[in-house]
Amino acid sequence: MAAAAAAVVVVGWVLGFGGFGVWGFPEEDLVTRLPGQPAVGFRQFAGYVDVDVAAGRSLFYYFAEAAEGAAAKPLTLWLNGGPGCSSVGGGAFTELGPFYPRGDGRGLRLNKKSWNKANDMYKFLLGWYKKFPEYRSRALLLSGESYAGHYIPQLTDVLLTHNEKSNGFKFNIKGVAIGNPLLKLDRDVPATYEYFWSHGMISDEIFLAISHSCDFEDYTFNNPHNESKSCNDAIAKANSIVGNYVNNYDVILDVCYPSIVMQELRLRKYVTKMSVGVDVCMTYERYFYFNLPEVQQALHANRTHLPYGWSMCSDVLNYSNTDGNINILPLLQRIVEHKIPVWIFSGDQDSVVPLLGSRTLVRELAHTMGLPVTVPYSSWLRRGQAGGWVTEYGNILTFATVRGASHMVPFAQPDRALGLFQSFALGRRLPNTTHPPIN
């Protein structure tokens, strides 16, 4: 299969990768070299796009050109979740961007599986296209994970409304892909406890207590979740049994001990990878790297000289207390009705927004829309191994799992995530022995 890469844009808490070489680029945003960065053959840009000057509101972005064949590549926008978590620190430098932080937290190493081999966001995209006008006609792929299950469909809805009203520029939206997305609370929340139970993490008795005591139809995103005391007590007991020694975002991943890591960072030693093959302590390496003054200067970041350090997730911004309660399925339906392919993918080791809920919701959406099964549920392959399982409805709505992956799919399974992204970006089905890719 032909290699698929993309230019990637990440904004404040957003990320982007772009296709072809930038000829009208904003020189003030060019990142000549990041501290401790290996030599690369593509350009990077970072800076701010003002979305509300009067209110002093701007969004930060990081943009990396595609590494090869950039002239023919689409533009991919990536959003991490939270709400309020950084797509730069998350997606760009932990999952799918061109670099990972080094073990000593003072430099970068190449990511060999990089993907470049809502109203404010709408204004951001319009402003970003002013900085990079040659991308206006390029295919736009909208992607993200977790709470981006809200961000991405809501943003796509705004862009579609723009296209319907505009007599001039229209966004060239070619696909939507969201990993382990929060879509509908009354299904996603109970799926967590089904997952705990099915993986032997809680007992039959605790699972039955939750099933009998909790009415998830009325569940709300914020505490106390509009649930009864008996329900909240059962949930608290389940969470206590699962304990602090399991990473709920990746139940097979070892946990990192911050005190040890910080000592190693101060001594500039490398943090050893655990037996699972990924750096479980990258969170602390990333925090150390992005708080280096020379890194912030190279990225043209922190232009207002904030008195506090960078962190992966922020409580500074005020988020809607009700947005998390919204059922996103009607927005996904609108996107599919506009003939835009939608892919929902799930790392099968995530208990926070597990595949059990997402799979059911995609099937319910297909049933509501009358979409027939066009790919029966079956395994998809990557390098001769099962990459996960996949099903497709109406040649346009896809649900796929990624075997052995976490809530952050590209972090835990970078090669399988890259294979999935390649198929998505090329408009092809995931390869398997029964249903060959569509050329």
For the annotated catalytic residues, the residue numbers are 146, 350, 407
Q: Cα 364 to chain center, whole Å? A: 23
| Distance from C-alpha of 77 to C-alpha of 140, rounded to nearest angstrom | 7
Give, in order, the Cα–Cα distances in Å from 14 to each of 59, 75, 78.
8, 13, 6
Residue 41 structure tokens: 């053959």
Query: What number of residues does the chain have?
Result: 439
Q: Cα 126 to chain center, whole Å? A: 22
| Distance from C-alpha of 369 to C-alpha of 341, rounded to nearest angstrom | 14
| Distance from C-alpha of 341 to C-alpha of 156, rounded to nearest angstrom | 12
Give, in order, the Cα–Cα distances in Å from 63 to each of 136, 139, 302.
15, 16, 17
Q: What is the DSSP string of 198-233?
A: HTTSS-HHHHHHHHHH--GGG--SSTTTT--HHHHH
Element (H, E) at 9: strand 7-11
Residue 68 structure tokens: 């090869």
Q: Cα 31 to chain center, whole Å? A: 24
Element (H, E) at 177: strand 173-179
| Distance from C-alpha of 232 to C-alpha of 106, rounded to nearest angstrom | 43
